[in-house]
Amino acid sequence: MTYLEALRRAVSGTQLRFRRNLREVTVITIVGLLVIPWLTNNDFLLNTFIFIFLFSMLGHGWNILGGYTGQISLGHAIMFAAGAYTTAILYVYYGVTPIVGIWVGGLVAVFAGVMLGVATFHLRYHYFAMATLAAALVIRVVFFRWDWVGGATGIEYPFDQFATLYSLTFRGKMPYYYLTGAFALGVTILVTILDRSKLGTYLKAINMDEENAKNTGLDTYRYKMYAMGLSSFVTGLAGGLYAQYTMYIDPWSTLRLLQNIDIIMVAIIGGVGTVLGPVVGSMLFIPVREYTRTALGGEYTGIDWVLFGLVLLFISLYRPGGLLNRYSGRWGKE
């Protein structure tokens, strides 16, 4: 079977057929991704791939809470910023190597996520979505005015320790490519395990009918919190990697309102509540986003967002479960 055919079947097929071809598709994709930097050193291409990897992580992160558990968060930029800022602050202010900082960033993101969960998990459906959005707006305003985290100017990495292992910064894009790629692969494996685990089943049960899940004795609050923790950790790691890659973070780039939407676009284009959805979603969305950004003249013409709006509208109307999902399950509708 050719690769393309396998991929096509994997994308359009039922879960069963999907699983049969999964191994070939996965192996060929991974091998292909491993050799790409050796075939080309086109910066635009590698940059696009680095963002594909980062956004598959973010998509996975959102998907654990939004897709599997059915809690539609519009505030994942908070956890992203938590990871990015922690990594940057630990390194720039205290000289802690980002090799450690990224993981600490993940843990700080978990803390932020759990706090958000404590505050908002008693809300359902759009109330939860709105509360997380409001939280993201509050954090955004705070970060813009908070001098210790650099305020509106943000935090810049010092250049004197550039390209050392300790600072985890590199010349050229290839090391970043493998670094983010390895993290993205790791997270994908984590989600695969989650998908087949008991916890994954509980989360899907909460998504299907929270009231019913509660009545059958499931401690839904606790499991929602686990989902939030995992989701935040993954999102925070991606934030830390983003800080390492750009070496400069500010509230504009990490806490934009559209940052929340970028993450969700990736998660829902591919397929909500599926393992490979975020991966496929970022492979489809990020190249278009990077291309339109450069080709159509930057963010201020807005025409790229009109295009994404139309895509989002199409998906919402005709494939509400995303492209990977054949059936459109229920995400929280009474």
Among 137, 208, 225, 288, binds another protein (CB under 8 A): 137
Q: Is 232 helix (H, G, I), strand (E, B) or coil?
A: helix
Question: Quick one: 21 or 325, whose CB is closer to another protein?
Answer: 325
Question: Quick one: 66 or 236, whose CB is closer to another protein?
Answer: 66
* Whether the Cβ atoms of residue 80 and residue 60 lie closer than 8 Å to each other: no
Task: Name, in order, each residue with C-beta under 8 angstroms of 72's C-beta and a sequence gap of 6 or more.
Answer: 66, 125, 126, 128, 129, 331, 332
Which residue is listed with tokens 């001098």? 147
Among 13, 26, 124, 326, binds another protein (CB under 8 A): 124
Residue 99 as a binder of another protein (CB under 8 A): the answer is no
Residue 284 as a binder of another protein (CB under 8 A): the answer is no
Quick one: which segment of 16-24, 163-171, 243-251, 308-316 binds another protein (CB under 8 A)? 308-316
Among 14, 164, 197, 316, binds another protein (CB under 8 A): 316
Residue 123 as a binder of another protein (CB under 8 A): the answer is yes
Quick one: which segment of 21-29, 44-52, 264-272, 284-292 binds another protein (CB under 8 A)? 264-272
Q: Which helix (H) or strand (E) holds 214?
A: helix 210-215
Nearest to 279 by CA among 193, 212, 186: 186
- Report how far apart, in Å, the C-alpha atoms of 270 and of each of 140, 143, 282, 320 are: 28, 32, 8, 11
User: Which residues partner with 248 through β-bridges?
Assistant: 156
Which residues are near another protein by CB under 8 A? 66, 72, 119-120, 123-127, 129-131, 134-135, 137-138, 141-142, 145-148, 257, 261, 264, 268, 272, 300-306, 308-310, 312-313, 315-317, 320, 328-333
